[in-house]
Amino acid sequence: MQDTSPEQVEHIVAAADRAAPTWAGRGRPERAAALRAVADRLDAAADDLVPIAIRETHLGEPRLRGELARTTFQLRLFAEVLVEGGYLDARVDHADPDWPMGARPDLRRTRIPYGPVVVFAASNFPFAFSVAGGDTASALAAGCPVIVKAHPGHPELSAATARVVNAALTDAGVFQLVYGDAAGVAALTHPLVKAAAFTGSIRGGRALFDLASARPEPIPFYGELGSVNPVFVTVAADAARGAAVAEGLVGSFTLGAGQFCTKPGLVLAPQGARLLAALADAALPPEAPLLNDRITAAYLHGQQRLRAHPEVRVIAEGDDPLAPSVLATTVTALLKDHEGLQGECFGPTVLVAEYTEEAQLLEVAGALAGQLTATLVADEDDPVAGALTAVLATTAGRLLWNQWPTGVSVSYAQQHGGPYPATTAGGTTSVGTAAIDRFTRPVAFQGFPESLLPAELREGSDVPRTVNGKQERP
């Protein structure tokens, strides 16, 4: 695909800006119907889209069909969120002459869309975090026109997906696609663009975050960057079920050839752990091609660097350099070398750090950078469990208890986001229904007549509201 020219970007952003009031002005049921229409058409186009995805990403058919199902489920879930209307956080304060700090006027607050949004698509989920993925679905649901910067890893799939989306959306300018880094930057820094979302590397995401923050009018940049997703295995858990833990870990770190942002990349295990012995003997899956040449090169470089580290030894590996590998080090080495040992190595590998006493788990938990997830493999009566949970809650966006982080359910309570560098906006999530909150901002109306209020703020509204501080159902 040819890169989008600066002139084309200008036209595309202008079209998105023109579309913004129309799309925002369509009622919630209408936007919900449009999202469902996109989902229906994507489902119907599966036999066309999946083969392109296989060709461009090296991911297998079952995985890609599953991912497409996740994508259309997500669109339909946001349609449900729209109809329900709780995301508007509608609040009504009736006028109150006796309000203790002085007479209170009639004040009503709802949330409105930011305006045009740029979505930087990810490589590793060509459906669910790409053209019609979660960022697009939540921004469209919020009422924002979307400009997707296609990922170069699957350009044809991006074009084909965009055609399907646009066949379902009748308003011009609501959904558009651009190609090329320069086009992405031009869109991100355009004055008419009001927010951006990104899934990718720390380096790339930080560069874009810096551009978004340095604009004359800074805009929110929701970047999901990198995470090692540490796993903390207690002595008791290792003793009781080290072998089973090893099996679960292998399944998780090799899933999708380790190319998940939630891949467990670092495991804390007791010295001489059963887990480690079981990993040494484990039947690792065969090598699989990675998504693209750039990711392959980065993975091989990362492996080389780790294996050259004086405190790292190889526990398990295959003949092929892309075969899954298990490496090991010590907690002491881990804590000493933040740069070298605590970073993400995107691909089918895991680093196990052995500790000599469980108190070191707390030390590591407190020393790690921000994470998308952190996992406890522990028993309820483990003395360290409570303190470890408390520390990890300050480090990660999602904590798991004796489960693996690679499955990220799309639901109401999901949280996919954490302190930097896991994301650039740890107060938000890119998965789950709360993802829509990223693309709306509050507006209050003081003393307005019914006829000029947004529908959800009038009497007889159909959304949940907080009235004079008390939550009410419609």
- Judged by CB under 8 A, the chain residues 47 through 66 that form the site for a second copy are 66
Separation of alpha carbons 81 and 465, rounded Å: 15
Among 28, 31, 91, 241, binds a second copy (CB under 8 A): 91
Proportion of the chain in helix, strand, coil states, percent, rounded to 5: 45, 20, 40
Pattern 102-121, a second copy, x by CB under 8 A: x-xx-xxx--x-xx------
9, 365, 399, 435: which one contacts a second copy (CB under 8 A)? 399
CB of 228 to a second copy, least distance (A): 16
Q: Does 259 bind a second copy (CB under 8 A)?
A: no
**Residue numbers 345-384 binding a second copy by CB under 8 A:** 369-370, 380
* Stretch near a second copy under the rule CB under 8 A, chosen from 143-151, 276-284, 317-325, 432-440: 432-440
Q: Which parts of 234-253 interact with a second copy (CB under 8 A)?
A: none
Give me the phi and psi of 112, to 5 degrees please: -120, 155
Kindly give, in sequence order, each residue whose CB lies less than 8 Å from that of residue 19, ignoring residues fewer than 6 positions away: 145, 171, 172, 173, 174
Contact (Cβ atoms closer than 8 angstroms) between residue 348 and residue 288: yes
Give the one residue of 133, 153, 200, 220 binding a second copy; rule: CB under 8 A: 220
State both tokens at 61: 């058919």
Q: Is 191 in the site for a second copy (CB under 8 A)?
A: no
Catalytic residue flag (residue 261): yes
Number of helices and strands in the chain (H, E): 15, 17
In terms of CB distance, is 104 or 305 closer to a second copy? Answer: 104
Catalytic residue among 224, 344, 354, 456: 224
Among 420, 455, 458, 462, binds a second copy (CB under 8 A): 420
Among the candidate windows 26-34, 51-59, 98-106, 172-180, which touches a second copy by CB under 8 A?
Answer: 98-106
* Stretch binding a second copy (CB under 8 A), from 4-12, 94-102, 143-151, 173-181: 94-102
Under the binding rule (CB under 8 A), the answer on residue 262 touching a second copy is no
Provide the residue count of the chain.
474
Q: Cβ distance 299 to 347 under 8 Å?
A: yes
Instruction: Map residue 285 onto helix, strand or coil.
Output: coil
Residue 148: strand pairing partners? 119, 177
Nearer Cβ to a second copy, position 112 or 172? 112
Site string for a second copy, 143-182 (x = CB under 8 A): ----------------------------------------
- Token readout for 405 is 């982080």
- Between CA 32 and CA 38 the distance in angstroms is 10
The rounded distance, in Å, linking the Cα atoms of 103 and 106 is 10
Active site includes 472?
Answer: no
Which residue has 């011009």 as its token pair?
172
290-349 positions binding a second copy, by CB under 8 A: none
8 Å CB contact between 345 and 309: no
Residues that contact a second copy, how many (by CB under 8 A)? 88
CA distance 326 to 264: 12
Choose, from 56, 67, 261, 354, the residue flagged as catalytic.
261
Beta carbon of residue 59, minimum distance to a second copy (angstroms, whole number): 17
Cα–Cα separations (whole angstroms), residue 121 to 96, 243, 290, 471: 48, 38, 18, 37
Q: Smallest distance from the beta carbon of 316 to a second copy, in angstroms?
A: 27
The pair phi, psi for residue 466, each rounded to 5°, is -105, 110
Which SS3 state, helix, strand or coil, does residue 309 take?
coil
Contact window for a second copy (CB under 8 A) among 144-152, 249-257, 296-304, 404-412: 404-412
E strand residue ranges, 195-324? 195-199, 221-224, 231-233, 266-270, 313-316
Q: Which stretch binds a second copy (CB under 8 A): 170-178, 284-292, 309-317, 412-420?
A: 412-420
**Please, which residue, 85 or 347, has the CB nearer to a second copy?**
85
> Which residues are part of the catalytic machinery?
224, 261
